[in-house]
A and B are shown apart, each in its own frame.
Chain A
Amino acid sequence: MKKGLYLIAVMLLLAGLYRGEEQMVLKKAVTICLECIGIG
């Protein structure tokens, strides 16, 4: 069960990387988040 969950975590990460999702996280993270500071 635990090994299966680790495998799912790795597969999710790889699928996300394959789709370039880390770039979407980066794009959001390097721009001041107006919602976070209460003006969005």
Chain B
Amino acid sequence: MASRKIIQSFSAFVCNIYLPGFANGHIYQGGIKALCLPGLNCYSCPGAIGACPVGALQSALSGTVLRFPFYVMGTFLAFGLLFGRLICGWLCPFGLVQEMLFGLPTRKMQKSHFTARLCSLKYLLGIGLVVLAPVLLYAAQGIGEPAFCEYFCPAGTLEAAVPLLSMNDDLWAAAGWLTVWKFFILSVFLVIMVFVYRPFCRFACPLGAWYGLFNRQAALGIAVDEQRCTHCGQCAAVCRMDVRIAGDPECISCGACRPICPEHAVYFRKLWYGKNMAEVNKN
């Protein structure tokens, strides 16, 4: 869908619109960075004008004082309730990177029972590295660590480490084994992204895992009219994500299955259409 590509590109541009940062190797320091962006976008990307929600959550759970992160959790909940994984499909800059690499003309790996099972990994990574590890490290050593950012996140390596290390000699001098490890993870993902559709999104993104929990309730996004659906499975068959049916927790609301459904049961939930979508969808 061309409109989706345009919105994804526009979102990536707006989220990283502080262009001088890319020229001088500094990051944006304006007050609006107190707001979390909806998608995975490292706040140390030189162009980023907002905070990464996953980074902000870990940061709140790390440090020398352990407090419940009301503000960040409120943001997480609000984004989930409003958009669900529509954010992944339409707004997340790292989702766009994955789709661009997948667009390279090579043989592609199809989804399978194995990839469907691998989707659970993102819940484990989210609970383990984003929530438990910072808290347990705090309990063990009196100071927590943002384990997902520190040991795993390839978006941070791509969006922040690559530009900042290449432009800042002091940071480059401080690089060590952890840097090597993070670049290794990034390289693995970049290669897989060429052959597998959105591998980070499907198997590893804690943000996608969280937003997916709200897919069926979100104000906006893909939904299925249960009265029309015959459970024929055609939406799942055409979908590149590991959905069982359109609109389930793995669906990123890309809309590709909408014209495929023989019953016209797949529709975009829109705030102003209210509840009865069946009539709208007939057309």
- In angstroms, Cα B182 to Cα A12, docked, is 34
B44-59: contact bitstring with A at CB < 8 Å (1 yes, 0 no)? 1000101110011001
Task: Tell me whether chain B's interface is mostly helix, strand or loop, or mixed.
Answer: helix
Residue count of chain B within 8 Å CB distance of chain A: 53
Asked if residues B71 and A30 are in contact (CB atoms below 8 Å), the reply is no
- In angstroms, Cα B183 to Cα A15, docked, is 38
Asked if residues A32 and B44 are in contact (CB atoms below 8 Å), the reply is yes
Asked if residues A36 and B77 are in contact (CB atoms below 8 Å), the reply is no
Minimal beta-carbon separation of B215 from chain A (angstroms): 13
Asked if residues A28 and B71 are in contact (CB atoms below 8 Å), the reply is no
User: A35 and B150 in contact (CB under 8 A), knowing A12-B77, A29-B51?
Assistant: yes
In the bound complex, residues from chain B placing their C-beta under 8 Å from that of A25 are 33-34, 36, 51, 56, 59-60, 71-72
B200-212: contact bitstring with A at CB < 8 Å (1 yes, 0 no)? 0000000000000
A1-40: contact bitstring with B at CB < 8 Å (1 yes, 0 no)? 1100110111111111101011111101110111111111
B145 at the interface (CB under 8 A from A): yes
- In angstroms, Cα B43 to Cα A1, docked, is 33
- In angstroms, Cα B42 to Cα A12, docked, is 23
Considering only CB atoms, which chain B residue lies closest to A24 in the complex?
A: B60
User: A24 and B59 in contact (CB under 8 A), knowing A2-B217, A8-B77?
Assistant: yes
In the bound complex, residues from chain B placing their C-beta under 8 Å from that of A14 are 74
Asked if residues B42 and A32 are in contact (CB atoms below 8 Å), the reply is no
B176 at the interface (CB under 8 A from A): yes
25 contacts between A and B (CB under 8 A): A2-B217, A8-B77, A12-B77, A13-B75, A15-B74, A16-B71, A17-B71, A21-B70, A24-B59, A25-B33, A25-B36, A25-B72, A28-B51, A28-B56, A29-B43, A30-B29, A30-B30, A33-B42, A33-B149, A34-B174, A36-B149, A36-B160, A38-B156, A39-B174, A39-B176
